Amino acid sequence: MRQFTGLDRMINSFDQALRSLVPGATAAHRHNPAADLDSQLTINEARHVAGLMRVNHSGEVCAQALYHGQAMTAKLPSVRLEMEHAAEEEQDHLAWCEDRLKELNSYPSLLNPVWYSLSFAMGAAAGIAGDKYSLGFVAETEKQVSAHLLSHLAQLPAQDQRSKVILEQMNEDELHHRDTALNAGGVDLPVPVRIVMTLISKTMTKTSYYV
């Protein structure tokens, strides 16, 4: 098996960043769960749903960055592979959210490069801290993402089945990633770290809805 150099990893990281940030660069591996559904929304409803989906799309950009950063610094090969597998599933979420934004005649957040950079740095730091903390970071991240998804599901117009099934599948996957990380040895993060993660998440949520 080929041993990748530091330069190889840097090039790969740059490629992953481009795929996460450039619209249309990421393709889903799984069938879009909303492909066969229809949703008729008013202008105001569509505007609100677009804001929610823009937040979810930014969340998936952050998830990609977190997993890429952790995979780069993870010490155990098994943990690195788990991060890479989770990132592949998150690619589906990224593509589905982007598809829904296009359907709503909207766009991804202009701040996504900022969120990607911050999340990549946090993921890399978690990997350096040790695999048990890296896995704990995944578990806490997915816990917070699930809370956001449930909140957004409650805000969707009743007739918006397209957005609903996408968010439901995303939530199912996030909870699976959380459980997998905990079962692999993830530990609870220190309270200050969880507080910082929550503050960053709230900032991203409030700004990405509009920008």
The binding site for Fe cation comprises 60, 90, 93, 142, 174, 177
* Local confidence band at 53 (pLDDT 50, 70, 90 cut-offs): very high
Residue with tokens 């960043």: 17
Question: In the chain, what are the domains?
Answer: 39-208 (1.20.1260.10)
Mean pLDDT of 94-103: 94
Provide the pLDDT for residue 124. Answer: 85
pLDDT at 5: 63
Mean pLDDT throughout 77-93? 73
Report the predicted TM-score, pTM, of the whole model to 2 decimal places: 0.86
| 68-82, 86-100, 122-136, 152-166, range with the lowest pLDDT | 68-82
Is a pLDDT exceeding 90 seen at residue 122?
Answer: no
Least confident segment among 61-75, 84-98, 137-151: 61-75
Summarised one tens digit per residue, pLDDT across range 172-205 is 999 988 888 888 888 888 888 888 888 888 898 8
| Residue range 120-135: mean pLDDT, rounded | 83
Q: Which residues are annotated as a binding site?
A: 60, 90, 93, 142, 174, 177
